[in-house]
Structure 1
Amino acid sequence: MAALIKLRQMSIVQKAVWNHLSKTNRCISTSKKNSDTVTHTAASECPPEEKNWVSYGFDYKSKEEDTSAHHSSFFFSVTLCLVFGSFAWAYAPDVHLRDWAQREAYLELHRREKAGLKPIDPNYINPKLMKLPSESELTDVEIII
């Protein structure tokens, strides 16, 4: 973005691109009396229109530089960052693998149904492999559920 602002300040670009816009500018001044005639002034004699100009904060001396920097910065921030950034965020791949986990769960359920097993086995771990305390060891312990 800074390169575009610098490119705008080059005199060749100003002569080639920006000066043709000022040729089409025509100033017409009228008086408050109805009997006076309308006078036409040349484009070079137009007074500067910076009477009530409030800067956007990019350039405090030139209205054209300030508005071009303002428009370009908003174009890049809104169009490129918000529009294309939200597009990239919406269509980015699943980094947390939520879709993968759900797909694997469906495949496992399909495999268990095909084998004739229950969807979820009540004995997820083989009870013979687990060492549980006996009833006599649990009588003195308070169990909080």
Structure 2
Amino acid sequence: MAGLVRLRTLQGLNRGLSLISKNQSLCRTISTSSKKNITELTDCQSHGPPPSKKNWVSWGYDKTDKKIDRHYIHESMFVSVTLCIVFGFYYMMYLPNTRMQDWAQREAYLELRRREELGLPPIDKDYFDPANFSLPTDEELEDTPIII
């Protein structure tokens, strides 16, 4: 997201294909005075951007204009928090149930209603019909431990 916003700041490249104007030059001045509080403006400093007020630290979207930098950080936070997180939770909340818990509970209520209408107990002690399979007798089991 930040990369998309930074692409908007490259509009200066489309206008003149130069980030530095023709009358502005890059220079570095060295002070040789013994006093540390003396500052002087030279010709190359007067064409530069105006000094920023107080101690402004850029968010990284625009390093020269405080207003544009704050606009881009507010825009990206709005998009990331409001659109992604808030609407993302609403989207996840209304997704279908992937674990099928609602389906199992609904199916159990339908089965209970069917058994009540037929006059059967809610849970039958013989889940499977005992006539369909044969169990070993007590003589066949003898001393075999039965673990339940």
Q: TM-score range by the shorter chain?
A: 0.5 to 0.7
**Given the alignment of the two structures, is residue 75 of structure 1 paired with residue 78 of structure 2, yes or no?**
yes
Q: 1:137 to 1:3 in 2, by over 3 A?
A: same
Identify the residue that residue 61 of structure 1 maps to in structure 2. Answer: 63
Look up the match of 1:88: 91
Structure 2 unaligned spans of 5+: 13-48
Match in the other structure for 1:121: 124
Query: Is 2:61–2:73's contact at 8 Å kept on the other side of the alignment?
Result: no
Match of 2:8 in 1: 7
1 CA distance for matches of 2:53 and 2:10?
Answer: 19
Identity over the aligned pairs, expressed in percent?
47
Which blocks of at least 5 consecutive residues in structure 1 are unaligned?
12-45
| AA aligned opposite 2:80 | S
Distance 1:89 1:75 in 2: 20
C-alpha displacement of 1:63 = 4.7
TM-superposition CA deviations, 1:88-144 (whole Å, max 9, x none): 111222122221211111111111111111111111100111221221222221223
Quick check: 2:61–2:69 contact (8 Å CA) kept in 1? yes
Q: 1:96 to 1:72 in 2, by over 3 A?
A: same
The structure with the largest helix share of the pair is: 1
Higher strand share: 1
The SS at the match of 1:72 is helix
Distance of 1:63 and 1:133 partners within structure 2: 89
Residue of structure 2 equivalent to 1:143: 146
What CA distance in whole angstroms lies between the structure 1 residues aligned with 2:125 and 2:56? 77
Amino acid at match of 1:62: T
- For 1:100 and 1:49, locate their aligned partners in 2 and report how far apart those are by CA, in whole Å: 63
Residue 100 of structure 1 aligns to a residue whose secondary structure is helix
Q: Which residue is equivalent to 1:26? A: none
Q: Say how many residue pairs are matched.
A: 115
Over the aligned positions, Cα root-mean-square deviation in angstroms equals: 3.3
TM-score w.r.t. length of structure 2: 0.61
Deviation at residue 69 of structure 1 after TM alignment: 3.8
